[in-house]
Amino acid sequence: MTVVNMKNLLNHASVEKYGIGAFNVTDLDMVRGVIAAAETENSPVILQFAEVHKNYAPLEVLAPIMVDAARNAKVPVVVHLDHAETFDTILQAMHVGFSSVMIDASKMAYEDNIATTREIVKIAHALNVSVEAELGTMNREGGGTNDFYDTLESTFTDPKIAKDFVTKTGIDALAVAFGTVHGVYTKKPHLDFKRLAEINNEVDVPLVMHGGSGLSDFEYQEAIRNGVRKINYYSTLAYNVANSVKEKLNKETKQIFISDVSLWVIDLIKEDVRSKMRVFQSSGKA
C-alpha cells in the first residue's frame, strides 16, 4: 500500500460518517504498534509526528521509518506532521515523503495566520501534500475547574471566522477548539458540541479534534456526528502504555531485557489503538 493523501482519506470518512485516528509516535515500537493495529482492524490510519517531540526522536531519524512502514502496510496510511510551527520542519517532512502537514500559526494574529497558512498550502498542494491548520487556541493543560473552562471558552473557534479562514487559505482540514485540551485530563472536559455543529455547517472541509485523549466513547462519537473526521490521540496512549509496562516489570520474576520490553510496548500500543479504531468506527473501512 502506498502512502495516501490525507484529503482523500478524510473525504471518504466524511461520506461514510466515521473518524480516523491520528496517533503520534516517538519511536519504532510505537510505529510498529500503530501499524499492527490498523492492519488487524483493517482500518485506515494517520501516523503522525509532532514537532514538539523532536527531543524524543529527531525527525530526520524517525521520519524515514514512518514513511517506510506506511509504504509497506496493508492498509491506507497517511504520514502527517503535527503542530509544525517552523517552515524548515515542514519542508523537511515533505522532502522525506510525508503526505500531510499541519501548519500551526494559531498563536499569530488572524491575518498573519491566514498569510502563513496560505503560503504553506501553495507549496504543499504543488507536491500533492494535504494541509491542516488550526483556528482558535488549544490549551496545553489537562483540564481543570469550571473557571478554567470559562476562561478557555474565549479561545474557542468562531464558526463565522472559520468559514472565512477556510475560504482564504484553501486548507484541506481544520483543527478546531471546542473544549478539548492537550494532555491527560485532570477534570471532566466541557465540550461545546453546539459550537462544533455550527462550525461544521459553515465550512466545507473535514474537522480535526486535537486533545483527543481521555474522552468517553459517547464524546468521541458525538464529535464524529458533528463533523470531526481526524482525532488526535497520544497522551492517554503514552501514559497507559508506560504504566502497564511499569506494572509488568514489577510483577515479573524472570530476567528481563530491553528487547522484551519493546515487544510488550508494541502489543500494548496495538491493543489500545485497536480499541479506539472501533470507537471511531474506522474498523473495516480500509
Q: Which residue has the higher pLDDT, 27 or 179?
A: 27
**pLDDT of residue 154 exceeding 80:** no
pLDDT in tens, 61-78: 999 999 999 999 999 999
Assess if residue 175 is contained within a domain.
yes
Q: What is the Cβ-side half-sphere exposure of residue 5, based on CA atoms within 13 angstroms?
A: 14
- What average pLDDT does this structure show over 257-283? 97
Assess if residue 26 is contained within a domain.
yes
User: Would you put residue 60 in left (φ > 0), alpha (ψ -120 to 50) or beta?
Assistant: alpha
Share of the chain above pLDDT 70, in %: 92
Confidence label for 190 from pLDDT (cuts 50, 70 and 90): confident
**pLDDT of residue 185 exceeding 70:** no
Assess if residue 1 is contained within a domain.
no
- Count of structural domains within the chain: 1
The amino acid present at 27, given as its one-letter code, is D
8 Å CB contact between 190 and 147 = no
Mean pLDDT for all residues in the chain: 92
> Which residues lie closer than 8 Å to 264 by C-beta, 6 or more apart?
244, 245, 248
Structure confidence at residue 253 (pLDDT): 84
8 Å CB contact between 39 and 73 = yes
pLDDT in tens, 127-140: 999 999 999 876 55
Of residues 27, 29, 68, 82, which has the active-site annotation?
A: 82
What is d(CA 149, CA 111) in angstroms, rounded to the nearest whole number?
A: 26
Assess if residue 92 is contained within a domain.
yes
8 Å CB contact between 116 and 108 = yes
- What average pLDDT does this structure show over 153-164? 89
Structure confidence at residue 4 (pLDDT): 96
Lookup: cell for 284: 473495516
What is d(CA 133, CA 84) in angstroms, rounded to the nearest whole number?
A: 10
Assess if residue 252 is contained within a domain.
yes
Q: Which of 111-120, 143-152, 206-215 is most confident?
A: 111-120
Lookup: cell for 186: 485532570
**pLDDT of residue 148 exceeding 80:** no
> Which residues lie closer than 8 Å to 186 by C-beta, 6 or more apart?
141, 142, 143, 144
What is d(CA 142, CA 144) in angstroms, rounded to the nearest whole number?
A: 7
User: pTM for the complete prediction?
Assistant: 0.93
**pLDDT of residue 143 exceeding 60:** no
* Residue ranges of E strands in the chain: 20-24, 45-50, 77-84, 100-103, 130-135, 173-176, 207-209, 228-233
- What average pLDDT does this structure show over 215-244? 96
Structure confidence at residue 145 (pLDDT): 43
8 Å CB contact between 102 and 81 = yes
Q: Is 82 a catalytic residue?
A: yes
Assess if residue 105 is contained within a domain.
yes
Assess if residue 75 is contained within a domain.
yes
* Residue ranges of E strands in 123-273: 130-135, 173-176, 207-209, 228-233
Assess if residue 167 is contained within a domain.
yes
**pLDDT of residue 34 exceeding 90:** yes
- What average pLDDT does this structure show over 217-223? 96
How far is the CA of 177 from the CAs of 100, 198, 228, 281, in angstroms?
20, 13, 12, 22
Q: Residue 232's domain spans which residues?
A: 6-280
Structure confidence at residue 147 (pLDDT): 47
CATH label of the domain that carries residue 229: 3.20.20.70
Structure confidence at residue 187 (pLDDT): 67
